[in-house]
Amino acid sequence: MDLSTGKAALALRERIVSNFEFEHWEEVGLLTGFSDQISKHPRLLRSLHWGDEDYSGNVLNILRQIADKDSSALSIIDDYINSHFEGETHYISAKPSEKRITFSPSVFEIPNVSVENSLVAIMMPFKAELEPVFKTIRVSCNDASYRALRVDDIWEESTIIQDIFNLLFRSSIVIVDFTGKNPNVMYETGIAHTLGKLVIPISQNIDDVPFDMKHHRVLQYLPNSEGLESLKTKLTQKLKQVSL
């Protein structure tokens, strides 16, 4: 797949995740001649039905399969989306939902930017002892072909909370470190979930993870060289999994 086709597939993925239901996949399959590939994909429709976090990755996977066989089919899908979702609202979602909400925050200004599919936001306490962890996360993101930013990497607004909101808004994935039960990290995680981001929680101590988050799979790590190497491996694998 060449660069222009890849960019087209990424743009289609975002619009499909925001809008498609089962009948839309059926219609696209008929229009493009890829009904069998869509219906027989091992995870695509199942992850849509259950609202699984890997749905976005499965959408990109089927688009890649389609493009590899007939790149012109992506134009057919684009035309279909334009005709069925004219004037669509731009939703930010890590996974599809039967119900969607549109809201206007009173504390933040909504930035005039788009979601960057390759951007990961890192939310963690600003402590010297956690700097090796921060560097490990960045290496993991780089190894998985993502770009990672923490709020101290940017200074665009007059208030730090607006910079945080802008970064969360732009990112497709948010990695949060609950180590130390930092209240700011808890607050930022709530914003990320409200924006529909894919949140990957990590922590040195499982007891630092809020009760409401303990049903999510947490990457627990030790703050030593062996533990950080293990975290890098597991985090890279997770990031590659969601980007498939």
What is the pLDDT, as a whole number, of residue 97? 53
Residues 146 and 69 in one domain: no
Report the candidate in 76, 68, 3, 4 with the shortest Cα–Cα distance to residue 37: 68
| Residue 97 belongs to a domain | no
Phi-psi region of 122 (alpha: psi -120 to 50; beta: other; left: phi over 0): beta
What is the pLDDT, as a whole number, of residue 153? 77
Chain segment 91-147, per-residue pLDDT in tens = 444 445 556 666 777 788 888 888 898 999 999 999 999 999 999 999 999 999 999
| Residue 110 belongs to a domain | no
Residues 56 and 155 in one domain: no
Number of domains in the chain: 2
The boundaries of the domain holding residue 160 are 116-242
What is the pLDDT, as a whole number, of residue 215? 63
What is the pLDDT, as a whole number, of residue 128? 92
Residues 9 and 54 in one domain: yes
Residues 55 and 164 in one domain: no
What is the pLDDT, as a whole number, of residue 90? 42
What is the pLDDT, as a whole number, of residue 155? 73
Report the candidate in 169, 199, 196, 198 with the shortest Cα–Cα distance to residue 186: 199
Residues 76 and 138 in one domain: no
Residues 172 and 59 in one domain: no
Residues 225 and 140 in one domain: yes
Select from 68, 84, 100 the last residue of a domain. Answer: 84
Residues 60 and 157 in one domain: no
pTM equals: 0.60
Write the CA distances from 130 to 113, 125, 224, 232, integer angstroms. Answer: 30, 8, 11, 14
- Residues with pLDDT less than 70, the chain: 1, 86-102, 158, 212, 214-216, 243-244
Q: Which helix (H) or strand (E) holds 171?
A: strand 171-177
